[in-house]
Amino acid sequence: MIAAALVAWGCGAQERFANPVIGRDWPDPTVWEADGTFYTVATGMRTILTSPDLVHWTDSGKAPLSEDARAKARAAGRNFWAPDVVRLGDRWMLYLTCYNSDRDCGIFAFSAEAPDGPFEFIGKITHSTDTGIKDTIDPEVLQDPATGQVWLFFGSVGSQHRVRLNPTGTAVAEGAVYEHTAGLKIDDNPSRTQVYEGAYLYRRGGWWYLFVSGGNYGDGSYKIRVGRSRTLEGDFTDREGRLMKDGYATLLLSSDPEDTFYGPGHNGEIFTDLRGQDYMLFHCHNRASGTRSRFTFLQRLFWDAEGWPYFEGGKVLAEDLAPLFGR
């Protein structure tokens, strides 16, 4: 039974929910769904949360990684950042940044039979010491339904890149080439306003949308931006047709210095409810909390007549219409 905060069918009114939906430090969230249950993990990889509706979250008490997998990940990097979970074939795959420094970090793969793990260690996908790409972080893995090819998008201060993976998503494909897709290097943009990270790809209406975050994740300069391409292999451009790899992207969500909710960024997945309404998850600071924690927020995403996404007012909402799932 969906919680009462969703929909009052008797009167036909859609109720509202309050942000943040996860009121604890939960940065860089990834969210996935299986059999009517939503799951999420975040930077730190401490536990798995579950929800029936993206609004009400419960700590499962389950560690996402097995003890052996965690030990192997810890040997690769002291910090666990920005996980990404995706279904490939009959396996659930988890991709994780294991980070020591911008020159010593990489993306590692784990797999599980069940959507809530535990995920077991597979191995290294790519590493900064092998490629020379600074900040080999923030993995986004997806399979192109048109070609069956599996792609990895990643990166930050060394600029965002993409590379093709093998069909099982367990290694870089033989002969694959790393390609610059979005953002500038930090050497060319010290303010980080055009240094993009937190890649997320979404397909709609014949376009692939590349959502990115730019600015400093710890303050109000952090913002969500977007560009699009007809293919995953093509050039992504902003609304004016400028290349994302030249540092351009269309502003989607931002904050002002006086805002209670500031620095929205590193969005998670987009989900469509039974009414056809789209919702995006992302992390954001809450000034009222008195902490530097990054909580997880949920907000309805709209699309204009030209197929570009936008948020109401371009700002983070304290409350929004509740999504409808599970009916």
Task: Confirm whether 97 is domain-assigned.
Answer: yes
Do the domain assignments include residue 222?
Answer: yes
pLDDT at 327: 57
φ and ψ at 29, to 5 degrees?
Answer: -70, 145
Residue 12 resides in a domain: no
| 66-74 long-range Cβ contacts below 8 angstroms, 24+ apart | 66/117, 66/118, 66/119, 66/120, 66/121, 68/120, 68/121, 69/110, 69/118, 69/119, 69/120, 69/121, 70/45, 72/121, 73/45, 73/98, 73/108, 73/110, 73/121, 74/98
Residue 60 lies in a domain: yes
Give the CATH number, domain containing residue 112. 2.115.10.20
Residue 1 lies in a domain: no
Does the residue 327 lie in any domain?
no
pLDDT of the chain, 327 residues: tens digit per residue:
233 333 333 345 678 999 999 999 999 999 999 999 999 999 999 999 999 999 999 999 999 999 999 999 999 999 999 999 999 999 999 999 999 999 999 999 999 999 999 999 999 999 999 999 999 999 999 999 999 999 999 999 999 999 999 999 999 999 999 999 999 999 999 999 999 999 999 999 999 999 999 999 999 999 999 999 999 999 999 999 999 999 999 999 999 999 999 999 999 999 999 999 999 999 999 999 999 999 999 999 999 999 999 999 999 999 999 999 975
Structural tokens at position 129: 């010491």
In a domain, 326, yes or no: no
Question: Using an 8 Å Cβ cutoff, are 289 and 295 in contact?
Answer: yes
Quote the CA–CA distance of 270 and 272 in Å, as a whole number.
Answer: 7
User: Tokens 């030209």 sit at which residue?
Assistant: 306
Structure tokens at 165: 């993976």
Rounded Cα–Cα distance for residues 231 and 108 (Å): 26
**pLDDT given for residue 1 in this prediction:** 28
Q: Output the pLDDT for position 197.
A: 98
Which residue range forms the structural domain that includes residue 248?
17-321
Which residues face 40 on adjacent strands? 31, 49
What does 193-206 look like in DSSP terms, one character per residue?
Answer: TT-EEEEEEEEETT
> What is the chain's alpha carbon radius of gyration, rounded to the nearest angstrom?
19
Q: How many domains does the chain have?
A: 1
Query: Does residue 220 lie within any of the structural domains?
Result: yes
What is the rounded CA–CA span in Å between residue 68 and residue 73?
9
pTM of this structure: 0.94
